Amino acid sequence: MKFTTESLRPFGSVVRIGHAGRTRRSRPTAAIGVPALLLSALALAACGSDAPPEETVSAETGMREQPAAEPLPDAAAVAERLADYAPFTLTADLGDLGDDQRRMIGLLIDASKIMDDLFWRQAWGDGHEEWLADLPAGPVRRFARINYGPWDRLADDRPFVTGVRPKPAGASFYPPDMTVEEFEAWDQPGKDGLYSLVRRDAAGDLELIPYHEAWAGELGRAAELLREAATLAQDEGFARYLGLRADALVTDDYQPSDMAWLDMKTNRIDVVIGAVETYEDQLFGYRAAYESFVLLKDMAWSDRLSRFTAFLPELQRGLPVPERYKAEEPGSDSDLNAYDALYYAGDANAGAKTIAINLPNDEEVQLAKGTRRLQLKNAMRAKFEKIMQPIAEVLIVEEQQDHVTFDAFFANTMFHEVAHGLGIKNTVDGSGTVRAALKDVASSIEEGKADVLGLYMITELHERGELGDTELMDYYTTFLAGIFRSVRFGASSAHGKANMVRFNFFADEGAFTTDETTGRYRVDFEAMQAAITKLSAKILTLQGDGDYEGAKTFTDTLGVIRPELADALARVNAADIPVDVRFEQGREVLGL
Ligand SMILES: [Zn+2]
């Protein structure tokens, strides 16, 4: 799965936000049978498992129900929506890569463009280039490219082009006139599979067409490109994966390549390519959409992470709670790394941009090999620079703004992920898991734990001289700024609520204070440290005790936006800060 924002978390990384995001580690089984699962780009974040909002879909046609009389936005309004996506050039340092590796990246980008074309067909239908050419040049056409169709992905798929139908919940995976009833009555094995289209045959009956038959030519070409790339690969494991992935594209059998992907550990270049996520099928959540990420692993972060992970046992023993609340061995069940993204295509590039990924989705592969979490560093930097920093400029006191840094933002994100390994998974009375005991508040408490223990880890490692020449104040101030970003869209969602709990707890402890003249916020270093200790103890105790009532009360009393903060957020909303980013990307910007 993937993540676009870290709304659950005060600092950043992500949900479609990766492990920084929702922790649904498997195919969205919960969505199956639910008429529509709208994974709102903005609510999608973070490591929580809160259900996304549903939207109204007609049971008759599977069409989204939209007010008939709502006027279309005019060109000026579309231009404004376009401005909500700040442009960002997607590059990374390829300086030390040899010619073969650079050629290989070029081939992976070429294969990705085929995924982009196939995603257009899944989301909108055939003939998109002709359709785009007919649109007025300028903002409308550019906005259509960002949205892969005439529906605004950040506004409930509202149409922004004259004469188009509402977006079918099943996108173009199903015939537009198919009813849910007809599908359900259809006696067809494999109709709920990941890799097929539903179409009508000459007699008007439903038929199932596997992707590898529907798009044999395109997928064959993409497979050839991957095989050619494999001959250039330096890393043996990566070459093997590329060969198997090529096979997957032309057979729709992804499992061997998913296994091979988890087996490889030393490759610096990576690619996630093929039919992967099922969010685009909002009718049933069955069908996978084509996408691609071409990636370059950040080797420095990989080294740092393995060094930090070695401190987990020592940090576990140092947690500010009695022995029984930290009796388990800390650990991590999946591999976590940082990457720079070199190219996004298809589903990955539509609307809000993914900043973290947790794959594969195949539960059999997960059981055999675990999962991999990929944090996309330059994509996070894009959101940091274009969205979070401008928010900090409105809400953080001037003399502390230099403490809001990307390095701290990224470190906070990574430590959040690692901190999930601290604490305990079972209640101290031995009656079962913390997750089972805390029921509906389990996820938000667990995310709160990872947030605050991430700060605890940073504080401890900084004291041991492990964080180099950085200031603790950077991490704390950036943490505060991250909360503002996450609650920008309100505290009504479970994610927003979880963030408010953190914010209000720290505010009540005096860790943040408000400047009376400017209404901006200031971090108090000493009070912040004391609050980190106190909140860590509070959450670890609620978890260890399996105290559902206590956890619920804690969440409900603190999970509110108080008037003073509401005023501050209104100032942010008045400041015309972008809501997401779009990438300028490709061979040219990479110099390939
Ligand atoms: Zn998390």
Q: Say which residue the tokens 């079918």 belong to.
A: 168
CA Rg value for the chain: 24
Q: How confident is the model at residue 568 (pLDDT cuts 50, 70, 90)?
A: confident
How far is 193 from 99, CA to CA, in rounded Å? Answer: 41
Separation of CA 46 and ligand 1 centre (Å): 6
Residue 486's nearest CA partner among 447, 542, 527, 517 is 447
451 CA from centroid of ligand 1 (Å):
8
Q: For the chain, give the mean pLDDT.
A: 86
**Cβ(193)–Cβ(213) under 8 Å?**
no
Q: What is the model's pLDDT at position 492?
A: 60
- Determine the distance separating the centroid of ligand 1 and the alpha carbon of 6, expressed in angstroms: 9
pLDDT at 60 over 90: no
| Residues forming beta bridges with residue 402, ordered by sequence position | none
What does the alpha-carbon distance between residue 112 and residue 108 come to, in Å, rounded to a whole number? 6
pTM of the model: 0.84
Q: For residue range 69-82, what is the model confidence (pLDDT) as tens digits?
A: 456 677 888 998 99
Q: Is the pLDDT of residue 6 over 90?
A: no
Phi, psi of 408 (to 5 degrees): -70, -40
For residue 119, the CA-to-ligand 1 centroid distance in Å is: 29
Mean pLDDT (whole number) for 437-449? 91
Summarised one tens digit per residue, pLDDT across range 375-386 is 999 999 999 999
Cα–ligand 1 centroid distance for 373 (angstroms): 11
Q: Higher-confidence residue: 47 or 268?
A: 268
The pLDDT of residue 310: 86
pLDDT of 282 higher than 60: yes
Residue 227 dihedral angles phi and psi, to the nearest 5° = -65, -40
List, for residues 385-408, the tens digit of each pLDDT value.
999 999 999 999 999 999 999 999
Q: Which of 380, 301, 376, 374 is nearest to 341 (CA)?
A: 376
CA of 410 to the centre of ligand 1 (A): 14
How do residues 256-266 score in pLDDT, each as one tens digit?
Answer: 999 999 999 99
CA of 388 to the centre of ligand 1 (A): 19
CA–centroid distance, residue 90 to ligand 1 (Å): 26
Quick one: pLDDT at residue 5?
A: 59
Structure token pair of residue 196: 């097929």
- The terminus-to-terminus CA distance of the chain in angstroms comes to 30
Q: How far is the CA of 415 from the centre of ligand 1 (A)?
A: 10
**Secondary structure of residue 159 in the 3-state scheme:** strand
Q: What is the 3-state secondary structure (H, E, C) of 254-269?
A: CHHHHHHHHHCCCCCE
Q: How far is the CA of 70 from the centre of ligand 1 (A)?
A: 39
DSSP 264-322: --S-SEEEEEEEEE-TT-TTTS-SPEEEEEEEEE-HHHHHHHHHHHTTHHHHHHTSSS-
Is the link from the previous residue into 360 a cis peptide, with omega within 30 of 0?
yes
CA of 447 to the centre of ligand 1 (A): 5
Cα(20) to centroid of ligand 1, in Å?
Answer: 5
Ligand 1 geometric centre to CA of 47 (Å): 4
